[in-house]
Amino acid sequence: MAEVHHEILMNIPDEDLEKLADMYKEHGEIPYASSILTNAIKIRKKRSFLIRFMSTGNCWRNDGTFFALMEFPHSYDLVVCTLDKTCKNVYEGLMRTKRLHFHRPLVFFAVHNTIYPTILKVIEDRKLRVKSDNAYYIYSISRKEAINFKLECPEEVEIRTLCMSHAALINSLWPLKFPHSDEFLASLIEMNGGYGLFMKSTNELVSWALKTGIGQIGVVQTVESYQKKGFASVVTRILARKIAEEDEDPTATIAVSNVTSQNMFKKLGFTNRGLCNYITLKKIVI
């Protein structure tokens, strides 16, 4: 008789996500944890189920452990959060589950430094192979500060919300693009939105910032010929204030090598809250 598999990762009901978000707002060690949850609550109310939440049994009620699986077009990302320093339920859940398709390949998304050693152990013990492992600093600002950001911009440009049609241009200049990432960016814009600066004289999109799948400020970029005009700071302030109006502390993750962006966020009042890593696994042919 075949052995019966009892799946360890259980869905967290939508009605419990706000309660889980409040646990992380109170704790505060992982700055972006609550924004993942509150952003997903809004998304799922639109009947969009690109983000699913799971926990090792019902352990989230005690230690806050949750797994957020984001299945965007051509992207399969997993966010892992816990308030338990031992990460026991993180390890057990990832080692015993059959719900996750590690072969797709999977990206461990924004792995907080307190959880990072456990994820490396899971990768080793499951005999998975790493394609890339990149370290990022976590920058955040309090909602009280961000809510006071002024939405002024230079005279020659105007602020507009982004549309899915802008994804092609954004993707063409995005340093992190991958095959079909234009579709990924279009889905982000459709789901979460973003802001751009447009030249009044030509209607050209010259600078932008998107809200990521976990509710962060991301994909901040300015067309090269329009750089050093402060445009990136403008779109960052706009999106940060919008996030603050949703009762979240705006956060962003910035590559440790990207000193220019780090300096810009510091100038705006963001503080460095530590490290996280983005780990991409190698695709497994099965």
Asked if residue 272 lies in contact with residue 138, where contact means CB atoms within 8 angstroms, the answer is: yes
**Residues 152 and 235 grouped into a single domain:** yes
Q: Is residue 264 part of a domain?
A: yes
Q: Is residue 1 part of a domain?
A: no
**Residues 174 and 243 grouped into a single domain:** yes
Task: Give the CATH number, domain containing residue 131.
Answer: 3.40.630.30
**Residues 219 and 248 grouped into a single domain:** yes
Q: Report residue 206: phi and psi, to 5°.
A: -120, -15
**Residues 29 and 103 grouped into a single domain:** yes
For residue 280, what are the CA distances in angstroms to 62, 79, 106, 109, 135? 30, 12, 6, 8, 12
**DSSP-derived 3-state class of residue 65:** coil
Q: Is residue 127 part of a domain?
A: yes
Q: Is residue 168 part of a domain?
A: yes
Neighbouring residues of 268: CB distance < 8 A, sequence distance ≥ 6: 141, 149, 233, 236, 237, 240
Domain count, the chain: 2
* Number of Cβ atoms within 10 Å of the Cβ of 91: 18
**Residues 101 and 129 grouped into a single domain:** yes
pLDDT digits (tens), the chain, 286 positions: 445 568 999 999 999 999 999 999 998 789 999 999 999 888 887 766 678 999 999 999 999 999 999 987 778 999 999 999 999 999 999 999 999 999 888 999 999 999 999 999 999 999 999 999 999 999 999 999 999 999 888 999 999 999 999 999 999 999 999 889 999 999 999 989 999 999 999 999 999 999 998 899 999 999 999 999 999 999 999 999 999 999 999 999 999 999 999 999 999 999 999 999 999 999 876 5
Task: Name residue, tokens 């010929």.
Answer: 225
Q: Is residue 2 part of a domain?
A: no
* Domain span holding position 112: 9-136+276-281
CA dist 39 and 193 (Å) reads 12
Q: What is the pTM of this model?
A: 0.93
**Residues 38 and 124 grouped into a single domain:** yes
Q: Report residue 244: phi and psi, to 5°.
A: -65, -35
- Strand positions, DSSP E, 31-74: 51-56, 66-72
Q: Is residue 286 part of a domain?
A: no
**Residues 147 and 271 grouped into a single domain:** yes
**Residues 185 and 270 grouped into a single domain:** yes
**Residues 217 and 250 grouped into a single domain:** yes
Q: Is residue 92 part of a domain?
A: yes
Q: Is residue 125 part of a domain?
A: yes
Asked if residue 239 lies in contact with residue 76, where contact means CB atoms within 8 angstroms, the answer is: no
